[in-house]
Structure 1
Amino acid sequence: MTAIVEINNLTKMYKNKRGIHEVNMTVQQGDIYGFFGPNGAGKTTVMKIMTGLARPQQGQVKLFGYDVSTQYEQAMSKVGVLIETAEAFTFMSGRKNLELAARFYPGIDKQRVDEVLEIVGLTPFQREKVAGYSLGMKQRLGLAAAMLSKPELLILDEPTNGLDIEGMVQIREIILRLAREERITFLISSHLIHEMELMCNRMGIIHQGRLVREGLISELAKGSASLEEAYLREITEVRRLAAHA
């Protein structure tokens, strides 16, 4: 398998003593990789460093073999990103927002805007102002914007956060379809372990800024009634070891 994402010894600590410490992680081509941990565990920090929105104090991130710190344009050329909340101009229509975003990419035409609107199911609502969109529709619009450049890797930070059940199912189905039909590799963060179990084939568990386990979902859940039970067992062991360190 080809490694699309390679993270080595990534560290960034903030003044409040929180952050990430020596994170090592690999995402293989074709993965739907779930980056799982509670709020504040360090998921967004890792993703911001991966996409050049923050600088690490040490460590390296490579995307498609290119170092994000020194070869940024090459590293990000095949990457689509949705970090935290999907931002859009609410006084404009969904379509106008995408047409504006398309100007940042060479060779993206109106046909591609049509395609991503269709993929995320917003074609019937494309002329409506974003101010009238539900949270789920705004998330789908953000996903559409991230897909404009036909990326081979999509980095999504909590894409189902705050959505109702119907919205969560819609986003999940879009991700599974894109992975299957478009062969897109995904790195998806979440604090909802049930969503990880339904969407992902591999998962990394981050706890208090450290990646404590990484592997196939089937391997992580082995010997447990559920992935949730396996996670709780893993974290209990991490805390036990920390207490005796």
Structure 2
Amino acid sequence: MNPVVEINHVTKIFPNLRGIHDVSMKVQRGDIYGFFGPNGAGKTTVMKIMTGLARAQQGEVKLFGFDVSTQHEQAMAKVGALIETAEAYTYMSGRRNLELAARLYPGVGKERVDEVIELVGLTPFQHEKVARYSLGMKQRLGLAAAILSKPELLILDEPTNGLDIEGMVHIREIILKLAREERITFFISSHLIHEMELMCNRLGIIHHGKLIREGRITDIMAGSPSLEAAYLREIQGNRGLAAHA
């Protein structure tokens, strides 16, 4: 089976010498793939390159077999994305924002707007202005906009960042529901390892711009009492390798 996402030897270095170095990973259809690392590790840079918002200096990214840099329209045809923050017109209602977004997609009408509002749990608040929404509600609205076109791949950058525990649980439940009911493949970044453990079946760990481990969460956790302990083991092992390089 061909992977939904192929990232091959991608490098991008910024003037401050931070960036990502030779990152390669694959996401298979049906995965909820967690992309984990501390703040500043390079997660958002990778995701911007994946969606064409930034260009790699070396390497390539393919979505559904199409190169993002040379076949962008085909690569993004089945993709929904929420990168960094959910943008919306705050003086409009949540529903009106989605109705405007729906105009961008042929064949997406009122019925689909109704569906996504219900899926993300915003039905009671759909006619309220977004200015009155909590951060969690804005994140749910962003998710609703990202799935309007019925994407097969959803790329989410820190979807639970800044939320309280209840908000995190709501977003996690929505992601699991979308994976189950809409059969969406997910690529989700986070610096919250507990969230990764609860949501994802596969994980890529990035540290100082380098991918240091990728695989099934059960394999990464083998021999460790928790994913957190497994992560710390990987970091310590990576430091040891670097010291002897």
Task: State the partner residue of 2:5.
Answer: 5
2:86 aligned counterpart, secondary structure: coil
2:9 and 2:61 mapped to 1: Cα distance?
A: 9
Q: CA deviation at 1:244?
A: 2.1
TM-score by length of 1: 0.99
Q: CA deviation at 1:105?
A: 1.3
User: Any unmatched runs of 5+ in structure 1?
Assistant: none
2:59 and 2:2 mapped to 1: Cα distance?
A: 21
Task: State the partner residue of 1:243.
Answer: 243
Q: Does 1:203 align with 2:203?
A: yes
2:182 and 2:100 mapped to 1: Cα distance?
A: 24
Task: State the partner residue of 1:73.
Answer: 73
Q: CA deviation at 1:101?
A: 1.0
One-letter code aligned to 1:52: G
Q: Does 1:30 align with 2:17?
A: no
One-letter code aligned to 2:15: K
TM-score by length of 2: 0.99
1:3 aligned counterpart, secondary structure: coil
Q: Does 1:172 align with 2:186?
A: no
1:218 and 1:244 mapped to 2: Cα distance?
A: 29
Q: Does 1:56 align with 2:93?
A: no
1:156 and 1:2 mapped to 2: Cα distance?
A: 22
Q: CA deviation at 1:102?
A: 1.1
1:99 and 1:32 mapped to 2: Cα distance?
A: 28
2:85 and 2:164 mapped to 1: Cα distance?
A: 15
Moved runs in structure 1, 4+ residues, more than 6 A? none
One-letter code aligned to 1:98: L
What is the RMSD of the two structures over their aligned residues, measured on CA atoms? Answer: 0.7
Task: State the partner residue of 1:106.
Answer: 106
Q: Does 1:127 align with 2:127?
A: yes
Deviations 1:84-108 (A, max 9, x none): 1111111110011111111111111
1:44 and 1:186 mapped to 2: Cα distance?
A: 15
Q: CA deviation at 1:141?
A: 0.1
Task: State the partner residue of 1:231.
Answer: 231
1:29 and 1:16 mapped to 2: Cα distance?
A: 36
Deviations 1:70-128 (A, max 9, x none): 11111000000000111111111001111111111111111111110000000111100
User: Any unmatched runs of 5+ in structure 2?
Assistant: none
Task: State the partner residue of 2:19.
Answer: 19
1:49 and 1:107 mapped to 2: Cα distance?
A: 28
Aligned residues: 245
One-letter code aligned to 2:211: L
| Percent identity between the two aligned chains | 80
Farther-moved stretch of structure 1 (101-110 vs 218-227): 101-110
Q: CA deviation at 1:34?
A: 0.2
1:49 and 1:120 mapped to 2: Cα distance?
A: 27
2:77 and 2:4 mapped to 1: Cα distance?
A: 13
